[in-house]
Amino acid sequence: MAKLTFTKTLNVILLGPPGAGKGTQALAIAASFGLRHLSTGNLIRHNIQAQTPLGRQAKEFYTRGEYAPDHLVVAMVKEELCARELEKGVVLDGFPRTVAQAEALDQTLAEFCQQVDAVIEIRSDTEEIVQRTEGRRVCPRGHSYHLSKNPPRVAGQCNLDGLPLQQRVDDQPETIRKRISVYREQTQPLLNYYGKKHLLRKVDGSQSIEDVTGSIQGILSALDAE
């Protein structure tokens, strides 16, 4: 992965329905700009697995394919952001999902004298997403593959940490359709929130993985030049 230089701090949010490619792109963008990758999906799964107090409360929502309530996710993200220095910045994937979460994020970043610099919406249609999530396989640390569109080098094994790949319990077509429709209902106010701040950019998520990465890199590199 080519390293791109970005001279300022860069905090980027990737928005998009489940399965649009946020995790895949967050990994590529974090690696190319030297940023931290914070996936709230992975954070919630980690808290559930480790049976933390927040994870125990989030579990019932997760297994029903529902989003966790704002206060639980905000608490997990705050804990994670404050655990280490923000350094060059962070790529957030799966957060914020509501305007209340966006406001909490703005407040937390302000405590570090930072702000959200770009919000990228990865757009994709429902049928493409259902296909993608049926073939999705993830490692326990959340790295994401696809059986045919993005297969690992060794079948069933993560390229990055060698751990076994599994299908996510919530990657069933019916659960996915439900999550996509919740996403589409909930996200409009968030798009308006960032649209008003002139932070929102859109990319076509139906392109190949490399082309989506290229589109996002182009947007972020142009910001640095401003």
The answer to whether residue 12 forms part of the interface with ligand ADP (CB under 6 A) is no
Q: State the catalytic residue, choosing from 168, 177, 178, 202.
A: 168
Contact between 55 and ligand ADP by CB under 6 A: the answer reads no
Is residue 186 close enough to count as binding ligand ADP by CB under 6 A?
no
CB distance 121 to 203 below 8 Å: yes
From 22, 36, 45, 201, the catalytic residue:
22
**Could you say which residues in the range 97-136 bind ligand ADP, by CB under 6 A?**
132-133, 135-136
3-state secondary structure of 159: coil
* Phi, psi of 13, rounded to the nearest 5 degrees: -110, 130
56 catalytic, yes or no?
A: no
Q: Does 140 bind ligand ADP (CB under 6 A)?
A: no
Residue-wise burial string across 181-193, b where 16 or more C-beta atoms lie within 10 A, e elsewhere: ebbeeebeebeeb
- The active-site residue, picked from 36, 97, 137, 201, is 97
Closest CA to 20 of 204, 211, 149, 159: 204
Choose which of 33, 62, 145, 183 interacts with ligand ADP (CB under 6 A).
145
23 interacts with ligand ADP by CB under 6 A: yes
Stretch that binds ligand ADP, among 17-25, 84-92, 177-185, 191-199 (CB under 6 A): 17-25
| Number of Cβ atoms within 10 Å of the Cβ of 79 | 13
Distance (Å, whole) CA 56 – CA 60 = 8
Listing DSSP states for 22-80 in one string gives HHHHHHHHHHHHT-EEEEHHHHHHHHHHTT-HHHHHHHHHHHTTPPPPHHHHHHHHHHH
Check if 132 is active-site.
Answer: no
Residue 88 Cβ, how far from ligand ADP at the closest point, in Å? 22
212 near ligand ADP, rule: CB under 6 A: yes
Helix, strand or coil, per DSSP, at residue 215? helix
Q: Quick one: which of 150, 159, 217, 221 contacts ligand ADP (CB under 6 A)?
A: 150
Q: Does 18 bind ligand ADP (CB under 6 A)?
A: yes
Residue 179 is among the residues annotated as catalytic for this protein: yes
Smallest distance, Å, CB 5 to ligand ADP? Answer: 25
Element (H, E) at 200: strand 200-204
Name the site residues for ligand ADP (rule: CB under 6 A): 16, 18-24, 132-133, 135-136, 144-146, 149-150, 207-209, 212
Catalytic residue IDs? 22, 97, 136, 168, 179
